[in-house]
Amino acid sequence: MMTVTIKDVARAAKVAPSTVSRVISDSPRISERTKEKVREAMQELGYHPNFNARSLANQSTKTIGVVMPNSANKTFQNPFFPEVIRGISTKAHQLEYGLYLSTGQSEEEIFEEVQHMVQGKRVDGIILLYSKADDQVMKYLHEQDFPFTVIGRPYDETLQNVTYVNNDNFKAAKTVTEYLLLLGHKRIAFIGGNLENVVTIDHMEGYHRALKNAGMEPNNDFIVFHEELQEGGQEAVIDLMSLNERPTAMIVADDIMTFGVMRMLSEMEIHVPDDISIISFNNVMISELSAPPMTTVDINIYSLGYEAANLLIDKILHPGAEAKKMLIPHKLMKRETCRRIASAQRAASEKSV
């Protein structure tokens, strides 16, 4: 398979290489006649532009780097990621960008990969699929003034001019807490993800705010954080159900974690929603398949990815432009894990005080 270059096409079409190049980029300064001629030659010889040569001459790779979180963590297997990637990839494909995927088993590995991507000019821009406090990757990208967008939001206040796509996680958590309060729940537990993640912080603040607005003091016993998705959910339930006064409702950071929570609850023969209400976040594909199907907040994962790609490419094309911040709307998906607190249940939980 001798590779056919622009020169071969030029020779076949009896024009100069530069002309062929112009035809490829569909320059208006070339006559229709020669365009035809050249295109025919390309067809016949089976010509395809060499990407690396192009990137080198152009100083542009037409590919965007996608940085996943630490793959050692089980979070990595969250169906959240295929879905964001689907969103990213749709937009990228429309604008003819490719995807370079970066994963790493540790913070250090991820950081190294990112450095290689930017220093080696492997990508034109980067999307961070996670956002956590004090992230050296984000800091680095920012210092280098390299185009990037983050899904979530920067935590550090000094990173003002960072483009990001996020949900209003504060509001979502607040609403969800209010919803449980309206259903008569007073003992509402909060099971958060890793406290380093900005989303966890935002969730917690929304939860706090709702309680305070209702004139209640957050009870620290009811607030637990867990890094690991399934195990975390299960451990959280053990802790919470060992309390003298058990919660009658729980807010869980992630649908997958909710599976763990429900699994443990069913082992303890605590029934959802009769004995306890649960409300979760994300609405990944399988979340409607829990037994019973979980009530959760749809955060529109696909759009997060799609818009992140959109904003990134915009930024690549207009390096001067100001940072954009975008909020994707969320939506409460009422299913079957929440119900008005029963008087018996209230009595039971109060008895144990």
Residues found near a copy of itself in the complex (CB under 8 A): 1, 3, 48-53, 55-56, 61, 63, 66, 71, 74, 76-79, 81-83, 85-86, 89-90, 93, 98-105, 109, 113, 115-116, 119-122, 144-145, 229-230, 256, 259-260, 262-263, 266, 284-286, 288-293
Residue 16 binding result from DNA, a copy of itself, none, given CB thresholds of 5 to 8 Å by partner type: DNA
Helix 255-267 × helix 230-241 angle, to 10°:
50
Count of helix runs (H) and strand runs (E) in the chain: 13, 12
DSSP E strands, the chain:
63-67, 98-102, 125-128, 148-151, 163-167, 188-192, 223-225, 249-252, 277-282, 295-298, 325-328, 331-333
- Alpha-carbon distance of 229 to 197, in angstroms, equals 13
> 182 is in the binding site of which of a copy of itself, DNA, none (Cβ under 5 to 8 A by kind)?
none
**Minimum CB–partner distance for residue 140 and DNA (Å):** 20
CA pseudo-torsion sign 13, 16, 20, 26: negative
Nearer to DNA, 4 or 133 (CB): 4
Residue 33 and residue 30: Cα distance in Å, rounded?
Answer: 8
Q: What is the C-alpha separation between 278 and 261, in angstroms, rounded?
A: 9
Query: CB under 5 to 8 A by kind: which of DNA, a copy of itself, none does 201 bind?
Result: none
Closest CB to DNA among residues 31, 343: 31
* Residue 17's binding partner out of a copy of itself, DNA, none, with CB under 5 to 8 Å set by partner kind: DNA
Quote the DSSP letter at residue 132.
B
Shortest distance, CB of residue 291 to a copy of itself, whole angstroms?
Answer: 5
- CA dist 190 and 81 (Å) reads 24
**Torsion over CA: 89, 254, 226, 262 (sign):** negative
Tell the smallest beta-carbon distance from residue 86 to a copy of itself (Å). 5
Which residues here bind DNA, judged by CB under 7 A? 3, 5-7, 14-22, 24-25, 27, 29-31, 33-34, 47-50, 53-54, 56-59
> CB under 5 to 8 A by kind: which of a copy of itself, DNA, none does 89 bind?
a copy of itself
**Among DNA, a copy of itself, none, what binds residue 15 when CB lies within 5 to 8 Å by partner kind?**
DNA
Nearer to DNA, 53 or 238 (CB): 53
Q: Tell me what percent of the chain is helix, strand and coil, each rounded to the nearest 5.
A: 50, 15, 35
